[in-house]
Structure 1
Amino acid sequence: MPLPCPRCCLPRSAMKPAKNGRPDLPVVAMHRRGFIAGAGAAGALTLTASPLAAASAHAQAVAALTPARGRLLHGTFPGGFTGEEDDITVAQVKAYEAAVGKHVAWVMFSHNWFQGRRFPSQTARWILAHGSTPYVRLMLRSDSAEMRREPKYTLKRIAAGKFDADLARWGRDVAALGAPVIAEYGTEMNGEWFRWNGRWNGRAAGAKLFRAAYRRIIEVTRAAGAQNIVWVFHVNHADWPNVRWNRFENYYPGDDVIDWCGVSVYSMLGPDEDEPSDFVASLDQAYRRLRRLAPSKPVIVSEFGTDIRNPREPAAPWADRALG
């Protein structure tokens, strides 16, 4: 996994001017371990079974976590100890905050289903108790190996409802928190390293299956009461492989189920790589595409960074250029 930028990212304006001269939707910037993000503190919600009230509760959750224009907040992705990104601790978060002198608004972590299908309520609750918002990467996979086909939690089986009971329980557990939560399924789905990418699921047919699977996840969890989830469509800034069937637009499940769009922008992914990526140019290309795809949705930078071990691209100057 790529190591994060070693520098703290301070709040700054991330507004992009629209063609009509008025401010466009805010770009909310985040990066692995240290990310800045426009969001409000987690607030209590009252969830009810009425469709109208449920829609209102969901709108409240989105509003609570959407930044005021021109404002960004600081968060973190601690990473944990094992590399699975699901064993984070409050001590790691506090150590990060002490180092950078900032309280974090969001704390990101993975929920790997090979570790269990129940929502990690204990992790979410200590994040909330810390005064931050949980950001959960829902990873339906049998193990953490990359570049291979998923044998169990396939897109086809998810879309067919084979895991509805588990997802409904997952949704009820999230609803029981009584506070807004950020969640995503299918992280960087246009990157072939993850099993939900089209390469492992029939290429163009796989993108269609992904849409159906993600919609199923959101619909089942919402029906179970989890109106407090802000759902993110999280793409890699570049399609890999760069072929028509793998364009991230093909994977988008729809405005009615997605609240925000997110982007990963990494440069060097290892100490020996020699092809750096410019953060601003990479983000701008993805941003333009996302704005055409979902013009009503805010765009966040869900992850960014460069490998601190790579001597060809010192991480601190790269981060300064990215945030300057």
Structure 2
Amino acid sequence: MPGGHAPDKPGESFLRRAKLPMFLTALTAVIAGITNVVAPTAAAAAAGSCTTDAKLVPSCGVMWGGAAGGFTSKPRDVEHKNWEKLSGRTATIFHTYHKGDEPFPTKAEIAMTKDPAKPRVLLLNWKIAYGSNWAKVAKGEQNRRIDAFAQRIKAYDKKVFLVLNHEPENDVVAKRGSGWEAKDFAAMYRHTIKRLRAQGAGNVVNVMAYMGNEKWMAQSWWKDLYPGDDVVDWIGLDSYVSVEKGYYHYGTFGDLLDRKPKGGGLGFYEWATTKHAGKPIMIAEWGGYHRIGRTTDKSAVYNSVIPQLTKRPAIKAIVHFDTKNDDEGNRDISIDSTKAGLAAFRKLAANPIFNVKLG
């Protein structure tokens, strides 16, 4: 300030005036408090005492899952088992994809959840409006399809995760009467979940899975997609990062959680935890990618996962999507594109934070 004494920086005057012993005592108490909060959770996970509740939310730790064999004709169950061997851990969440009137869970999917040595739970992704549209589903025009699934899933009689039309942002047609408006998605979701509940399908735990892309988050209709806390059990996110510096979405695990709408606004994790506090978050698809023919080590992405999970307690499950060639035909999202990357991923998979038992 002109002609006067510059004000102290925040905390500077306190540190000058406070008695050092008092300050150290207070600091020790704070550190002890933090340790007491973190240590029991880590210890419980390491001891294998973390279990899931009626909504498949773990009491501690983070559920570990996988989706392997994408964009190929290979059997998903076989690829899932191969991926487990490669990664070194049973992927408790087995992610599969279906559409329309396809009968599921399939015999192979059911068999995957009956192995006592490798306990697994299904994450069923269903594009229910296939061959129709969201508005028609909401009006009841696909009730036969919903009811058939309700009977199958009740007969299965195990808890399942169900995603209705993952990444709906990418399917929105923002034109009045299209049947694919954001509000139509929310109405479809509400109708389907309420009808399943009315039919006694109490073993269905639903996941609202967003794409979480900053382009879509900036759209005026993005907020209209959310169907309501009363019909959403988990909030999901499908998000990826590039390992090629300077390429689209380059970054680490934290970057895929924090993408913000173009023009400003909350990042995805902050949005979910503030606007829908208390909802468990599932990273329903994630991975690091490089362009095919431009092999780059993915270790930095895998090494960044645990530090981010410890800072973000709302994340209760992560599911890696593994493929050598994505739907765009130019990206490798596999864990073994380099030896170093595979070693880093296996180290990640071995972390005791993922020691969660199905309740």
TM-score where L is the length of structure 1: 0.67
Larger radius of gyration between Structure 1 and Structure 2: 2
Conserved 8 A contact 2:243-2:296? no
Conserved 8 A contact 1:156-1:209? yes
Q: Which residue of 2 is the match for residue 320 of structure 1?
A: 303
Equivalent positions of 1:302-313 (< 5 A) are 302-309=284-291, 311=294
Conserved 8 A contact 2:98-2:124? yes
Q: Which residue of 1 is the match for residue 213 of structure 2?
A: 238
Q: Which residue of 1 is the match for residue 58 of structure 2?
A: 67
Q: Which amino acid aligns with 2:226?
A: Y
Following the alignment from structure 2 to structure 1, what is the Cα–Cα distance between the partners of residues 244 and 226? 29
Following the alignment from structure 1 to structure 2, what is the Cα–Cα distance between the partners of residues 82 and 281? 28
Following the alignment from structure 1 to structure 2, what is the Cα–Cα distance between the partners of residues 271 and 137? 32
Q: Which amino acid aligns with 1:286?
A: F
Conserved 8 A contact 2:252-2:300? no
Following the alignment from structure 2 to structure 1, what is the Cα–Cα distance between the partners of residues 209 and 221? 14
Q: Which residue of 2 is the match for residue 263 of structure 1?
A: 237
The Cα RMSD (Å) is 3.3
* 1:251 maps to which of 225, 248, 265: 225
Q: Structure 1 stretches of 5 or more lacking a match? A: 1-20, 27-37, 42-59, 143-151
Q: Which residue of 1 is the match for residue 136 of structure 2?
A: 157
Deviation at 1:188, TM superposition (A): 1.5
Deviations 1:61-111 (A, max 9, x none): 31xx21122x1232211235636x9x412x322222222221221100001
Percent identity (aligned): 21
Deviation at 1:40, TM superposition (A): 4.5
Conserved 8 A contact 1:214-1:253? yes
Deviations 1:222-279 (A, max 9, x none): 22221101101111222433533243x3211111111111112212399994441443
Deviation at 1:123, TM superposition (A): 3.4
Deviation at 1:203, TM superposition (A): 9.0
Deviation at 1:22, TM superposition (A): 7.4
Equivalent positions of 1:1-324 (< 5 A) are 40=51, 61-62=54-55, 65-69=56-60, 71-80=61-70, 82=72, 87-89=75-77, 91-113=78-100, 116-130=101-115, 131-140=119-128, 142=130, 152-190=131-169, 192=170, 195=171, 197-199=172-174, 206-247=181-222, 249-268=223-242, 273-284=247-258, 285-309=267-291, 311=294, 314-324=297-307
Distance 1:232 1:298, change over 3 A: same
Following the alignment from structure 2 to structure 1, what is the Cα–Cα distance between the partners of residues 160 and 93? 9
Partner SS for 1:256: helix
Following the alignment from structure 1 to structure 2, what is the Cα–Cα distance between the partners of residues 180 and 101? 25
Q: Larger % of helix: which?
A: 2
Following the alignment from structure 1 to structure 2, what is the Cα–Cα distance between the partners of residues 306 and 202? 38
Following the alignment from structure 2 to structure 1, what is the Cα–Cα distance between the partners of residues 275 and 296? 33
Following the alignment from structure 2 to structure 1, what is the Cα–Cα distance between the partners of residues 243 and 182? 25
TM-score where L is the length of structure 2: 0.61
Distance 1:293 1:271, change over 3 A: same
Distance 1:132 1:296, change over 3 A: same
Deviation at 1:215, TM superposition (A): 0.7
Deviations 1:149-176 (A, max 9, x none): xxx3201111110000110110111111
Deviation at 1:314, TM superposition (A): 3.0
Partner SS for 2:289: coil
Distance 1:174 1:269, change over 3 A: farther
Deviations 1:283-322 (A, max 9, x none): 1421110112211211121111122446385323222224
Distance 1:232 1:242, change over 3 A: closer
Deviation at 1:198, TM superposition (A): 4.3
Q: Which amino acid aligns with 1:292?
A: T
Q: Which residue of 2 is the match for residue 35 of structure 1?
A: none
Q: Which residue of 2 is the match for residue 34 of structure 1?
A: none
